[in-house]
Chains A and B, each alone.
Chain A
Amino acid sequence: DAKTTQPTSMDCAEGRAANLPCNHSTISGNEYVYWYRQIHSQGPQYIIHGLKNNETNEMASLIITEDRKSSTLILPHATLRDTAVYYCIVRVGGGNQGGKLIFGQGTELSVKP
């Protein structure tokens, strides 16, 4: 699976959009981009995933560049409860093909009042 690079930490003001970048320049054609987050001492929480089209759900939006070498997770109106470590992961296939998620160091997002 391709390696990802994320900033170690970011700050965001409460109520503003949080834009978390991720570089995955060696991504293969059959690899999806997944985003998870982990609040301290809890299990990771699934946020969103995509292959090449931009995706949006109730939690966030995922913007993937046309060449698929990078992506941005957008939390449109960050709240204090969004403070967490955010992980960008690339994984082969949808479904259970490949299956395993390899976590990097992630971005520690701090949402401040």
Chain B
Amino acid sequence: GAVVSQHPSRVICKSGTSVKIECRSLDFQATTMFWYRQFPKQSLMLMATSNEGSKATYEQGVEKDKFLINHASLTLSTLTVTSAHPEDSSFYICSASPSGGADEQFFGPGTRLTVL
């Protein structure tokens, strides 16, 4: 099946710093990628839809200036958490759908962010 990777798998940073998370589709091209956030004991919450070559579409309540998304190629999307604070500590997960109309979304393994 299609594989999506994320890097890093785990990151610890100091409050006020910025953290970049990469999402790659390893064996397929993805016009669209999605970013989710998951707090402990809660479900996944969609943050934004990332479209290759255009601006991301953010869900209501998600600050676009804080969570910067770049989708520069058909296999890579990045999420940058700017000026991170402890309340940004969470599990960040990306997903991608193969270009050309495939029905499934494939998810990455997630990135655990801890802000001290």
A residues apposed to B, CB below 8 Å: 32, 36, 38, 41-46, 49, 87, 94-96, 99-106
Contact = CB atoms under 8 A, between A and B. Distances in A.
A107 to B, nearest CB: 11
B91 interface: yes
A99 B49 contact: yes
Nearest to B106: A46
Contacts of B106: 46
A43 B107 contact: yes
A96 B109 contact: no
B108 to A, nearest CB: 5
Interface in B28-58: 31-32, 34, 36, 43-46, 49
A43 B109 contact: yes
Given A44-B44, A46-B104, A99-B34, 20 more contacts: A36-B107, A38-B44, A42-B109, A42-B110, A43-B95, A43-B107, A43-B108, A45-B107, A46-B1, A46-B107, A87-B43, A95-B103, A96-B32, A96-B99, A96-B102, A99-B49, A100-B34, A100-B49, A101-B46, A105-B43
23 contacts: A32-B103, A36-B107, A41-B112, A42-B109, A42-B110, A43-B4, A43-B6, A43-B93, A43-B109, A44-B93, A45-B107, A46-B104, A46-B106, A87-B43, A95-B101, A96-B97, A99-B49, A99-B105, A100-B34, A101-B105, A102-B46, A103-B36, A103-B46
